[in-house]
């Protein structure tokens, strides 16, 4: 009996081995003077040593393909890709990247032509950076152009493999919206996110515990939205925002646009739930939004634009935002006065999503023609402001002709992530770029997928992409249960004496429906 079992096992093993495609011999391949076209474009990029395999498709004609990946003396990876789809084995890839830290890795692509001969394309090279990237991303997934909210949820993805899982979803239709998940210094165990709808509240997750806070307290016209953790980990700078959305009619602008018509800045001190603000940043002359603490925790950077009448289409262009900052002492709760960091509106641009680097020297941000909603504006690009020289530079290596948005630094400051719809003009996808010690930015690459054709049928959009050091340990079920708890009211001990409700000049759509 045992013998039969042994023979059966051997047979299975032989069959599996025989069915596995062996790599054809390409030693006689003739070189061609052309680089192979591959999709996604993983050429001349700097990649982290802990990134998942950069699987790709070869967009050249050929009957058969072979890819060899090598770096110095490290053992090369040979992959047979009969249909041009190159899926790199994870273990071999990991070993290769470890050996290639700080060096180049080369991709040699071979194609079998109709005559049966093999050709070798020009070598593609990428560089492996010495510093790793945070190993997880947490993002929201939604429809890219919605009149009605259809948020699939908040998900996490392991950057070192292809594993992804849901964190917060609305599978029962119980929740209407989740937004603005914000991690404390890329720490997966400490973060907040907001819920709207019947279970509305701000969820504060810290060290395995969850609290739900009702941040919509008089005179706040909205609950908190955009947020940033203080380096001390106890305070949040946050804004409350009011948007208006528009659907352009002309062909060049197909997707909806949004304008912030009101935005105010507050600080939420985590433990006793108080919310503090000052009239300087809680009023309706200016719109304050997109807060971000400085690296030393003494200032809050934010963008500010003047509130204007919003009556007609062309008025949207007048909404331009400057980069500002205001000091706030978390010990005493004393606010300073807003200071202009860079008057981008005078340069004809609008600033959004500022993010201070860990070293404190740079502000990574977006500049677009108008508003703080850059994802549907082709003019939006990544910029870096050097706080020493006060010079701002377009990150041309990372930016594209289409839109860029939502930049975030990695915990070691050597990488940043952002969203861009450069692939098809509609869906925003996660991109990563290396920021070297000399302050140079390198060409960005898209999030690798197990199936390199994944983006061909991807019709949703990534949103609010955050880099985190490791997997969020709180499970989806735990988060779902935590969201059911009663919200504790935040306190607003010193509300500024201002009219909280904006005197919007925007004409609303007529009451009955409006979309049909």
User: Which residues here bind other proteins, judged by CB under 8 A?
Assistant: 143, 145-150, 166, 168-169, 171-172, 174, 246-251, 253-254, 257, 310-316, 423-427, 454, 456-459, 475-477, 479-481, 505-516
**437 versus 459: smaller Cβ distance to other proteins:** 459
To other proteins, the closest distance from the beta carbon of 516 in angstroms equals: 5
CA of residue 267 relative to chain centroid, distance: 24
313 or 329, CB closer to other proteins?
A: 313
Of 52, 84, 142, which Cα lies nearest the Cα of 453? 84
Specify the residue for token string 């939502």.
Answer: 406
Min dist. Cβ of residue 152 to other proteins (A): 9
Residue whose structure tokens are 């050996």: 99
- Smallest separation, CB 315 to other proteins (Å): 8
Asked whether 506 and 261 are in contact (CB, 8 A), the reply is yes
In the structure encoding, which two tokens stand for residue 201, read together?
Answer: 């509240």
Burial classification of residue 162, based on how many CB atoms lie within 10 Å of its CB (0-12 exposed, 13-18 middle, 19 or more buried): middle
Q: Which of residues 191 and 492 has its CB atom nearest to other proteins in the complex?
A: 191
What are the tokens at 362? 């740079």
* 481, containing H or E segment: helix 476-482
Which residues, other chains included, contact 49 with Cβ-Cβ below 8 Å and sequence gap of 6+? 97, 98, 100, 101, 128, 129, 130, 131, 132
Closer to other proteins by Cβ: residue 85 or 185: 85
User: Under a CB-based contact definition with an 8 Å cutoff, are residues 239 and 302 in contact?
Assistant: yes
- The first and second tokens of residue 402, run together, are 């289409």
Q: How far apart are CA 47 and CA 462, in angstroms?
A: 21
Q: Are 396 and 372 in contact (CB under 8 A)?
A: no
Collapsing DSSP to helix, strand or coil, 426 comes out as coil
DSSP state of 257: E
What values do phi and psi take at 202, rounded to 5? Answer: -105, 125
Least Cβ distance, residue 150 to other proteins (angstroms)? 4
Q: CA 161, CA 141: separation in Å to the nearest integer?
A: 19
Report, in Å, the least distance between residue 252 CB and other proteins.
Answer: 8
CA distance 382 to 404: 6
CB of 371 to other proteins, least distance (A): 12
Closest to other proteins by CB, 221 or 246: 246
Q: Which residue has the tokens 């949103």?
A: 463
C-alpha–C-alpha distance, residues 284 and 107, integer Å: 56
Comparison of 277 and 463: residue with beta carbon closer to other proteins: 463
Sheet holding 85-86, edge to edge: 38-39, 56-58, 85-86
Sheet holding 445-446, edge to edge: 404-409, 415-420, 429-434, 445-446
Cα dihedral across residues 483, 485, 489, 490: positive or negative: negative
Nearer to other proteins, 15 or 317 (CB): 317
């Amino acid at each position: 009996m045992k013998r039969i079992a042994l023979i059966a096992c051997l047979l299975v093993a032989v069959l599996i081995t025989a069915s596995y495609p062996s790599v054809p011999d390409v030693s006689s391949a003739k070189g061609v003077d052309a680089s192979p076209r591959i999709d996604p474009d993983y050429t001349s990029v700097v990649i982290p040593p802990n990134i998942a395999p950069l699987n790709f498709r070869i967009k050249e004609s050929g009957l058969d393909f072979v890819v060899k990946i090598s770096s110095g003396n490290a053992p090369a990876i040979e992959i047979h890709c009969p249909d041009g789809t190159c899926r790199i084995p994870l273990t071999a890839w990991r070993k290769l990247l470890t050996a290639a830290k700080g060096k180049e890795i080369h991709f040699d692509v071979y194609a079998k032509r109709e005559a049966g001969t093999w050709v070798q394309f020009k070598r593609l090279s990428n560089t492996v950076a010495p510093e790793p990237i945070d190993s997880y991303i947490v993002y929201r997934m939604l429809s890219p152009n919605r009149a009605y909210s259809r948020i699939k949820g908040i998900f996490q993805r392991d950057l070192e493999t292809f594993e992804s899982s849901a964190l917060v979803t609305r599978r029962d239709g119980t929740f209407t919206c989740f937004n603005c998940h914000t991690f404390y210094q890329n720490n997966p165990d400490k973060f907040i996110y907001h819920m709207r709808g019947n279970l509305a509240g701000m969820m504060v997750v810290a060290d395995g515990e969850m609290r739900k806070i009702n941040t919509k307290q008089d005179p706040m016209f909205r609950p908190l939205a955009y947020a940033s953790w203080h380096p001390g980990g106890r305070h949040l700078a946050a804004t409350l925002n009011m948007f208006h959305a528009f659907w352009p009619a002309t062909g060049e602008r197909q997707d909806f646009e949004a304008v912030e018509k009101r935005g105010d800045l507050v600080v939420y001190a985590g433990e006793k739930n108080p919310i503090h603000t000052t009239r300087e940043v809680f009023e309706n002359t200016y719109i304050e939004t997109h807060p971000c603490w400085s690296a030393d925790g003494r200032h809050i950077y934010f963008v500010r634009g003047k509130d204007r009448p919003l009556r007609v289409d062309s008025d949207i262009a007048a909404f331009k935002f400057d980069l500002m900052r205001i000091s706030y002492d978390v010990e005493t709760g004393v606010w300073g006065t807003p200071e202009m960091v860079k008057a981008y509106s005078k340069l004809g641009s609008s600033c959004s999503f500022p993010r201070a680097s860990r070293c404190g020297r740079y502000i990574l941000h977006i500049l677009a023609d108008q508003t703080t909603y850059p994802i549907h504006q082709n003019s939006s690009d990544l910029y870096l402001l050097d706080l020493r020289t006060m010079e701002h530079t377009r990150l041309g290596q990372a930016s594209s002709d289409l839109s860029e948005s939502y930049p975030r630094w990695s915990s070691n400051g050597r990488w940043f992530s952002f969203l861009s719809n450069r692939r098809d003009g509609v869906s925003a996808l996660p991109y990563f770029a290396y920021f070297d010690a000399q302050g140079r930015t390198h060409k960005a690459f898209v999030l690798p997928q197990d199936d390199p054709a994944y983006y061909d049928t991807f019709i949703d959009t990534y949103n609010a992409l955050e880099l985190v050091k490791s997997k969020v340990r709180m499970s989806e079920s735990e988060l779902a249960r935590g969201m059911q708890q009663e919200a504790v009211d935040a306190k607003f001990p010193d509300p500024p004496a201002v009219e909280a409700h904006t005197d919007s000049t925007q004409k609303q759509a007529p009451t009955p429906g409006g979309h049909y």
